[in-house]
Amino acid sequence: MTHTLGRPDFDLIAGWIEPGHRVLDLGCGDGTLLKHLIETRGVQGWGVEIDDANILAAIRNGINVIQGNLEKGLDEFADQAFDHVVLSRTLQTVRHTEGILREMLRVGREAVVSFPNFAYWKNLRSVLDGRMPVSEDLPYQWYDSPNVRFFTLLDFEDLCAQMGLIVRERHVLDEDGNLVDRTENRDVNFLGSLAVYRLTRAR
């Protein structure tokens, strides 16, 4: 299966976003996702990045990018300023997990969150074999990983429930980027390498 820019979650995210929407991408890297959304969905986009090289790359890509630290909140952004706030493969790198989720739904109507699932069976097998997992969705060695939070799909859903966040949609992908077509939560947690959620606040 081929995916846009080699990122299967990008296609899912793009499918949730309507033309003309205002999108904020947290940890936007070089702005690849925003550029894709601007070109294919005609959105208005802004990114937040902490890293100098990514700031430069995003500006080079013609993307609006704001240098900032997600751990310190999103003070520059007004309440409900965006239709979608995206946190793509970044939640596991943020220490203030609840803080950033709350901030996303303060500045945005909907939050889109994707993250690697640590309960994916290959990751579990790795640990059983005595090694920390390294995979397509967890591409780092333990000593150079930016990840600071290690959690599973089920853990995440518990936190959402605890915080009163509503899961509007969930897509779970295996390592090849194919949708995991199971209904049992336990199976999905076992077979999914990457989870993509669409969240809102309770209305």
Partner 1 sequence: MSGQSVGVVESQRAHFDQPLHLRSGGVLPAYDLVYETYGTLNAAKSNAILVCHALSGHHHVAGHYADQPDNIGWWDNIVGPGRPLDTDRFFIVGLNNLGGCHGSTGPSTLNPATGKPWGADFPIVAVNDWVHAQARLADRLGIDSWAAVMGGSLGGMQALRWSITFPQRVRNAIVIAAAPKLSAQNIAFNDVARQAILTDPDFHGGNYYEHNTRPVRGLRLARMLGHITYLSDDQMGEKFGRELRNSSFAFDFDVEFEVESYLRYQGDKFAGYFDANTYLLMTKALDYFDPSREDNGNLTATMARTRANFLIVSFATDWRFSPARSKEIVAALLANGRNVSYADINLNFGHDSFLMEDAHYHGVVGAFLRNIKP
Residues of this chain that bind partner 1 (CB under 8 A): 22, 44, 46, 52, 55-56, 58-60, 62-68, 75-78, 81
Q: Closest separation between CB of residue 58 and partner 1, Å?
A: 8
Q: Closest separation between CB of residue 28 and partner 1, Å?
A: 11
Nearer to partner 1, 43 or 196 (CB): 43
Say which amino acid occupies 18: E
Q: Closest separation between CB of residue 48 and partner 1, Å?
A: 10
Nearer to partner 1, 64 or 126 (CB): 64
C-alpha span between 10 and 177 (Å, rounded):
11
Nearer to partner 1, 72 or 95 (CB): 72
Q: Closest separation between CB of residue 111 and partner 1, Å?
A: 18
Residue with tokens 């669409």: 198
Q: 178 phi and psi, to 5 degrees? A: -90, 145
Q: Closest separation between CB of residue 68 and partner 1, Å?
A: 8
> Mind giving me the DSSP string for the chain?
---GGG-HHHHHHHHH--TT-EEEEET-TTSHHHHHHHHHH--EEEEEE--HHHHHHHHHTT-EEEE--GGG--TTS-TT-EEEEEEES-GGG-S-HHHHHHHHHHHEEEEEEEEE-TT-HHHHHHHHTTS----SSS-S-TTT--------HHHHHHHHHHHTEEEEEEEEE-TTS-B-----HHHHHHH-SEEEEEEEE--
Q: Closest separation between CB of residue 59 and partner 1, Å?
A: 4
